[in-house]
Amino acid sequence: MELSTFLFLFGFLPLVGAVYFLIPARFRQTRNALLAAFSVLFYAAGGLRLIPVLCAAFLLSYLGGLAAGRPGRGGKWGCTAAIVANLLLLGVYKYAGVFTGAARALGVTLPVPAGLLPAGISFYTFQGISYLVDIRRGNATAQKNPVKLALYLFFFPHLVAGPIVRYREMEAEIDCRRESVELFAAGARRFCFGLGKKVLLANTFAQIAGKAFAGPTPLSAGLAWVGALAYTLEIFFDFSGYSDMALGLGNVFGFHLPENFDRPYLSRSVKEFWRRWHMSLSRWFRDYIYIPLGGNRAGTGRYIFNILAVWLLTGLWHGAKWTFVLWGCWYGLLLLGERFLWGRRLEKLPGFCRWAVTMLAVIVGWMFFRAGTAREAVSVIGNLFGIGCGPEDGRTTYLLLEYWPEWAAGLLACVPLKDLLSRRVKPGARSLTASLAALAVLALCYMALMDGSFNPFLYAQF
């Protein structure tokens, strides 16, 4: 089930909200059990075949957490075994195609089961691993109540596409959160604006990118840039929209989930970009891979190895394709370049120039991310820079003029427009103004969904 479907918006969400708030707040455990049960139901809507995967992930985290909390070698080996089992679960369901392809190259034929990839498996698997490691490090206590652990792992707003939540970020609020009218209203507004990002902007830019890249190749330079810019905006509004919806729903039920985006397209370096984009994933790799490997404290050679290793894994986390590997290596090399080659020179440039260089690097990176093959990615990147281009045929002008309202809205939504507008509205009227704007966005989304413009979330596949 997706957060922007009629089934969710007008069926599942009203039902879970009505039942949840009918239960008095003093029955906290009943409310927790209800949310956990509805979260499993939410996932099961994607197919009952997914439930065994969810159960396996839960058992590995629950039993592994109890084992990791034991002192001595027993706890260490129990934690290690549970982490390895989690990675095997992820490997079997996400990378089976790679394994069978490698086997075929060696002359061994293995069947490839259909429909292997459960939605969001990378997200809840990483949450389970962080839970186990934090227990072993002494940063968290093993949760003996299975309902509370299930609520943490599978809370439906962030189940499919994050953010990746640490256990300590939800632990206290599982028992002691305070729902309120103000928090509910703020969460509902944020959900509506996130829905607008997805339905009104991401879906439209997906259409533009699809039209730009679907034509005969090679592309003209103008058409390649239109497609690249459209995809750059599509993936941002798709993913940040989902994150806003997840955080808004968390507020509705009294939770404060971690922020996942902080205006990344205003960054003036690649390093800054990754402090602002998908922040929960960046923190996960920093705390559980990069720092344990030694970070930047083990000499230049080891630092280079650590950066490349982390970004290779980051690419593979997104999928078992060479394009994702190239995308990860692209960012690893860019970060090393900023550190050792051009970083100081870049800092001396005016802010606009640093932003333009950073966005150029990001846009090129998204072409690796989007492409089906490495050859396709290289071809499109070449077209961006006038290499091997086809002739202009009018499609560039058409896609710019036909969708100019969405282009304007998309570019404005990438800047802190909300902060600028809020300063011009009196404090007493901000809540009312924001609520009216959210209702207007919700109405526009309803009309767009009625028109059949829904597309699945890009990050649900990860």
Note whether 331 and 379 are same-domain residues.
yes
Sorted by sequence, the CB contacts under 8 Å of residue 368 that are 6+ apart come out as 323, 324, 326, 327, 330, 374, 377
Note whether 147 and 171 are same-domain residues.
yes
| Domain count across the chain | 2
Q: What's this model's pTM, rounded to 2 decimal places?
A: 0.91
Note whether 65 and 210 are same-domain residues.
no
| DSSP for 374-443, written as a single string | HHHHHHHHHHHTTSS-----SHHHHHHHHTHHHHHHHHHHTTTHHHHHHHHS-HHHHHHHHHHHHHHHHH
In this predicted structure, what is the pLDDT of residue 45?
A: 84
In this predicted structure, what is the pLDDT of residue 152?
A: 94
Note whether 191 and 291 are same-domain residues.
yes
Residue 276 in this model has a pLDDT that exceeds 60: yes
Note whether 281 and 366 are same-domain residues.
yes
Residue 61 in this model has a pLDDT that exceeds 70: yes
**Alpha-carbon span 102 to 448, nearest angstrom:** 44
Residue 115 in this model has a pLDDT that exceeds 70: no
Note whether 158 and 192 are same-domain residues.
no
Note whether 205 and 299 are same-domain residues.
yes
pLDDT digits (tens, 9 = 90+) for 281-323: 999 999 999 999 988 887 889 999 999 999 999 998 888 788 9
Note whether 101 and 80 are same-domain residues.
yes
Residue 114 in this model has a pLDDT that exceeds 60: no
Q: If residue 449 lies in a helix (H) or strand (E), which one and from where to where?
A: helix 427-450
Residue 459 in any domain: the answer is no
**Alpha-carbon span 451 to 184, nearest angstrom:** 29
3-state per-residue secondary structure call for 2-29: CCCCHHHHHHHHHHHHHHHHHCCCCCHH
The set of catalytic residues is 318
In this predicted structure, what is the pLDDT of residue 74?
A: 84
Query: In which domain, by residue range, is 108 found?
Result: 6-177
Give the mean pLDDT of the chain. 88
Note whether 224 and 363 are same-domain residues.
yes
Residue 33 in any domain: the answer is yes
Chosen domain end from 150, 177, 204 = 177
Chosen domain end from 146, 177, 208 = 177
Residue 458 in any domain: the answer is no
pLDDT digits (tens, 9 = 90+) for 181-219: 999 999 999 999 999 999 999 999 999 999 999 877 788
Residue 110 in this model has a pLDDT that exceeds 60: no
Residue 436 in this model has a pLDDT that exceeds 70: yes
**Alpha-carbon span 61 to 82, nearest angstrom:** 7
In this predicted structure, what is the pLDDT of residue 426?
A: 64
